Each structure stands twice: as C-alpha cells, then as structure tokens.
Chains A and B, each alone.
Chain A
Amino acid sequence: MLPIFVIIPLGCAFLIPIAGKLRQGLAQLLANSCALLLLFCSINSIFWLKSGPKIYSLGGWPAPFGICMVLDGLTVLMLLVVNIIGVASLVYSIDYIKKFTSPVLYYTLFSLLLAGLNGMVISGDLFNLFVFLEITSIASYSLVAFGTEAEELEAAFKYLVLGSVASLLILLAIGLLLGSVSTLNMADISSSLTNSPSRDLILYCLALFIMGFALKSGLVPFHAWLPDAHPAAPAPMSAMLSGVVIKTMGIYALLRVLFNIIGISVIASSILVWLGIISMSVGVLLAIGQWDFKRLLAYHSISQVGYVIFGIGLGTPLGIIGGLFHLFNHSLFKSLLFLNSGAVEFATGTRRLDQLKGVSSEMPVTSATSLVASLSIAGIPPLCGFWSKLIIIIAAFEAGNIIGALVCIFVAMVTLASFLKVQKYAFIQKSQEIVSGIREVPLFMLLAMLFLAVLCIGVGLFFMPFVESVIRPASEVLLEGTNYAKLILGA
C-alpha cells in the first residue's frame, strides 16, 4: 500500500492547525506519531521489496495514462533516509521548540516537509516529482525563516531566490521533454527518448537538469545559499536540511533523471565526477577557516555531498554502491552533528567555537554523541563513515581516476583535522574558571541524539548485511539505467 507515505503526513498536516487550536500538546503528539508511523512503514518497505518493485497506479488509470507510484531499491533507501532523520528531528524539537513561539505552525510546516519528501521519492511521474519538489522547497524556505531574526530572513530570502531559479530551470527542462515526447510518465519518457532523433535537445535538457538539481543540492559552483541557510535555520530543521532535503531534492532527483530517463553517458558521468571533485575540495578548504559551529558543518555538507556525487559519477558498480552508502551515512552523522550544535547553542547560547569553554564535563551525553559523529565523518575505522569512504576510494582507483582518489584521501585528512579542532574547542578543552549555568539539555533532545549515535555505530559495525539488504538493490536500480522503463511498463 504505497500511498500511505503521502496520505498520513498530508492528513496530519491539515489536521494540526485545527488540533493546535483545541489543545496545545495535541499538535506535537500528532506530528510525532505520524513520523513514527512513517518510519515503521519505511522499515517494512524493505521487506515489501523482496517480491520485486511495486507499481501503484493512482485513480485506477494504468501507468502512462494517469500518475503511478513506484517502489524500487532506490526509493526504499531514500524513504529510510527521510524517515529516520525525520523522526530524530521531530523528537529533538519537542524540547527545542520551547525557544520559539507558535509551535503549531512549526509542526504543520514539518509534516508538510515530510509529505513533500516522501511524495517526491515514491512518485514515478516527472511533473509529479516537480510538484512535490516545490512543496519541499516552500516548506524549507519557511522553516529556515522560522525564527524571524534579521540574519534568518536574509538567508531565507537568498535561499528562496536561488531555489526558485533552480525550480524554473527544472520546469523548463520538463517543458522541453514534454514538447519532444508529450508524455510525463518517467518510464514512458525514457522508452520514447531512446529512439528519438533530437540529440541536441536531450543534451540541453540534461544541462538544465544538472544545473537545476546542482543548485538545489548546493554543489560548489551553486553553493552560495547553503552556508547562510544552514546556520540560520533552527537546529532540527538544519539537521533535516543538510541530512535529507539537499539529498532528496538534489541528488535523488538527479540520479532518477540521469540514470533512468536520459540514460547515463560518458559526458554526464564525467560532469558528475568533476562536480564532485570540485565540491569536495572547495567545501573542505572553506570549512577550515570557520569559527561558527553550524557554518563549519554547512561547508562540510558541501564537501561530503561532493563525495557522494563523485562516487556515483564514477559509474562503476562499486562506485555507485560507495556513493549511495555514503549518502546514507552522511545523512546520519551530519544531522547528528547539527543536533549537537543545536544542543550546545541551547545550553550555552553561543555557536562560536572560540567562545565555548569545553562543555564536556557539564554535557556528557552531547559530547559523547558528537565524538561519535565527528569520528565517523572523519572516517575512523569502526564507524560508518570509514566504510563508505573506503569503498569510494577503492572504486576510484579501480576506475583509474587517480586524481579523484588522491583528492578523496586529502579531503578525508582535512575533515579529520577540522573536526578534531571542533572537539578540542567545543568539548574537550578543560575550562579554567567554573562555567556557571550550563546544564545538560532536556531528555527528548538527548533521546534523539542517542538514537542517531546508536544508528551510526550499528551501521558501522554491521555494514556488510546493511549494504547487501538496502544499498545493493538501490545500486542495481541505477545500474539498470533505461531499461527501468521495460520494468515499469512491462509490469
């Protein structure tokens, strides 16, 4: 029953304003229960997949006629990413939201964000993907501007302008495809594109799609909005933003279009490889000079997204597995780091690393979870970040891309250095005078951070069964490329 992933969040998004008027706590309860239900559905969607990909045609109309929803390996992976971080952020924001006014609006926007993300991931129709991409964008613009301070509004405005330009470019590309093949179902488009003579048109659409989705996911030439938007957003929202939103809006949609509709070609994969390399190096070099905790994390998001794009751009099966695995891991430890930065800000009131005086003694749980996250982003063996970076580097060597592999190793070193700096200033540094008034953050925030930390360690230790059950079917979907169409229309 595929439409559950959209029915539940939309229904509860419409219910929350009314529930919020009746009783204050009801809205919070509704949002959290909907997120937990979604997580439960996405976990057992792995087992649905055992019996092959599912197609659900909406309104009873067969695939090319109406809109259809598709559940295949890639969708299951993205559903897991979206709902795990969604539950963690919502549980975290039970206490965090006390700093903000009108939590009812916050929970409505959050469940709309979840509805947009889930709807975008399971939709099998190009224009439907654009509509849900737009829901996610507008919900994240409003959430970035939720605390109405001057910096947040300015960051939200910049994010809004660049996001709308990206949406227009994507809509223009969809228009060109519609003009040349006049159908909107992804499978139908790819089957009629294979024998269509217009090569230049497809290349131009490819260029527009890459520019639009790279703008949405903050890859380097288009990353202007990301370092401002992430620090400005409230902590659970910046965890969702960098952990999930830039991945689903940017990378997932790019992969779906590139691999399944237009079909990967040498040009496209080399563009992806070079985009990845540039984003990796520029992102981490910019991150060194940062003293604002969240800004540093935002720059690291750009470099880690560059890793994922580099891995998948290689095109070899191992590269794609490495890229997708890193996508999953990055969403885990990056949102954990953002939640930690929110906890530090919640307790001490400042995000500047140099003003923090080592809070590990007063905030044991936060510093422990942030240690786990920092080690796994730096790629220390037992934790999850190490395995995915290792697979990508091996795949790079195998694919003969020596420069890329060396850049990967160099970036891993610099990431390690930069996160040791974070640990030293924020947590480990022994403070001389007694730091008064810093208490550990309330329970629910700790619960969310522990949940993600345990997941980080768990995926790190048992990464082989995890890769086999979730990442491999996702990479097979991408490796199939355009005969995705036969699969959908055939079934």
Chain B
Amino acid sequence: MILYILCFILFAIGIYCLLVKKNLVKKIVGLGIAEYAVNLFFILLGYRNGGEAPILDKTRVIANFVDPLPQALILTSIVIGLGVTALMVAIVVRLYEKYKTFDIDEIRRLKG
C-alpha cells in the first residue's frame, strides 16, 4: 500500500517538474521521472510475495511465479520512453540553436 502511494508521489513530482520548470531540459527530466514512476507502478502490481523470476529452470519445477504480463508490457513502455526522450532532445538541440536559450518564456514567440 505504501509502495503504491510512494510511486504515485514520484509520478506527481515528475508532472510537477514538467509543469513548473521553465527550462526545457528540466521538462525532459520531469517527463523521464514520470515515465519511471509509471513503469515501476506496473511492476509493483505484478509482484508476488516469495515469487520467482518468470524463467523456467531445468533442475527444479518452480511453483509460484511473479506475474509476467506487466513485465512484458513494461519492456514496450521503456522503449517508448527512450523514443520520446530522443525526439525531445533533438527538438531541444534545434531550439537551442535557433533561440540560444533554454528558457521557455523567451522562446514564447507564439501566442498561447
């Protein structure tokens, strides 16, 4: 129970950092933290007390496995996080080249 709440707090920190910080790189860091929190939440759901890693073993028959389904989903979600981070960094590098600053306020040439 505490673990779920800590996980949601980590997610809230990520979203808070994304909303409040005006530095572009800090927004990427905030998104990364929120991404980590969601991945962790999935695996916390699948944990089983005294469970074994979902790898079959030749020597002994393992009775209780940890839930393998969330693990399969999180492999996808980690690589999605990598893809989005790479795209964000590419845009930030290009924006820095055009505006010479990371501050979102100076960049705000477009009206909201």
Name A's B-contacting residues (CB within 8 A).
127, 131, 134, 138, 141-142, 145, 148, 150-151, 153-157, 160-161, 164-165, 167-168, 171-172, 175, 178-179, 182, 184, 224, 228
A–B pairs, 27, beta carbons within 8 Å:
A127-B73, A127-B76, A131-B76, A138-B87, A141-B87, A153-B94, A153-B95, A154-B95, A154-B108, A155-B110, A156-B91, A161-B27, A161-B31, A165-B31, A165-B34, A167-B80, A168-B11, A168-B35, A172-B11, A172-B38, A175-B41, A175-B42, A175-B70, A178-B45, A182-B67, A184-B69, A184-B73
Are A175 and B45 touching (Cβ within 8 A)?
yes
Total number of residue pairs linking A and B with CB closer than 8 Å: 77
Closest beta carbon of chain A to B6's beta carbon, Å: 15
Complex interface: chain B residues within 8 A of A141 (CB): 87
Are B110 and A160 touching (Cβ within 8 A)?
no
A161 to B91, CA, bound (A): 11
A204 to B69, CA, bound (A): 23
A134 to B84, CA, bound (A): 9
Are B109 and A154 touching (Cβ within 8 A)?
yes
Within 8 A of A (CB), among B59-112: 67, 69-70, 73, 76-77, 80, 83-84, 87-88, 91-92, 94-95, 98-99, 107-110, 112
A168 to B36, CA, bound (A): 10
Closest 7 CB pairs of A and B: A179-B45, A150-B98, A228-B110, A157-B91, A175-B42, A153-B95, A171-B38
With A164-B31, A168-B34, A178-B70: A154-B84 Cβ-Cβ less than 8 Å: no
A465 to B94, CA, bound (A): 51
Are B18 and A160 touching (Cβ within 8 A)?
no
Q: Which of A127, A155, A168 has the most CB of B within 10 A?
A: A168
Interface size class on chain B is 20 to 34
Complex interface: chain A residues within 8 A of B109 (CB): 150-151, 154
Complex interface: chain A residues within 8 A of B73 (CB): 127, 178, 184
Are A168 and B38 touching (Cβ within 8 A)?
yes
Complex interface: chain A residues within 8 A of B108 (CB): 154
Complex interface: chain B residues within 8 A of A153 (CB): 91, 94-95, 98
A157 touches which of B35, B70, B92 (Cβ 8 Å): B92
In addition to A178-B73, A224-B112, 12 A-B residue pairs with Cβ atoms within 8 Å of each other are: A138-B84, A153-B94, A153-B95, A164-B31, A165-B31, A165-B34, A172-B11, A172-B38, A172-B41, A175-B42, A178-B42, A178-B45
Closest to B85 in A: A164
Are A134 and B80 touching (Cβ within 8 A)?
yes
Dominant secondary structure at the B interface = helix
Closest to B99 in A: A150
Are B11 and A165 touching (Cβ within 8 A)?
no
Complex interface: chain A residues within 8 A of B92 (CB): 157
Are B35 and A154 touching (Cβ within 8 A)?
no
Complex interface: chain A residues within 8 A of B80 (CB): 131, 134, 167
Are A171 and B91 touching (Cβ within 8 A)?
no
Are B18 and A165 touching (Cβ within 8 A)?
yes
Closest beta carbon of chain A to B36's beta carbon, Å: 11
A184 to B15, CA, bound (A): 26
Are B87 and A160 touching (Cβ within 8 A)?
yes
Closest beta carbon of chain A to B14's beta carbon, Å: 8
Are B110 and A182 touching (Cβ within 8 A)?
no
A161 to B17, CA, bound (A): 12
Complex interface: chain A residues within 8 A of B34 (CB): 165, 168
Interface string of B17-43 (1 = CB under 8 A from A): 010000010010001001100100110
Closest to B11 in A: A172
A171 to B24, CA, bound (A): 24
Closest beta carbon of chain B to A399's beta carbon, Å: 35
A178 to B57, CA, bound (A): 27
Closest beta carbon of chain B to A289's beta carbon, Å: 10
A37 to B83, CA, bound (A): 30
A164 to B32, CA, bound (A): 10
Closest to A292 in B: B111
A164 to B34, CA, bound (A): 10
Complex interface: chain A residues within 8 A of B107 (CB): 154
A161 to B34, CA, bound (A): 12
A201 to B34, CA, bound (A): 21
Closest beta carbon of chain A to B45's beta carbon, Å: 4
Are B88 and A160 touching (Cβ within 8 A)?
yes
A131 to B78, CA, bound (A): 12
Closest beta carbon of chain B to A300's beta carbon, Å: 17
Closest beta carbon of chain A to B108's beta carbon, Å: 8
A145 to B94, CA, bound (A): 10
Complex interface: chain A residues within 8 A of B35 (CB): 168
Closest beta carbon of chain A to B11's beta carbon, Å: 7
Closest to B41 in A: A175
Closest beta carbon of chain B to A120's beta carbon, Å: 14
A184 to B67, CA, bound (A): 14
Closest beta carbon of chain A to B41's beta carbon, Å: 5
A182 touches which of B69, B84, B99 (Cβ 8 Å): B69
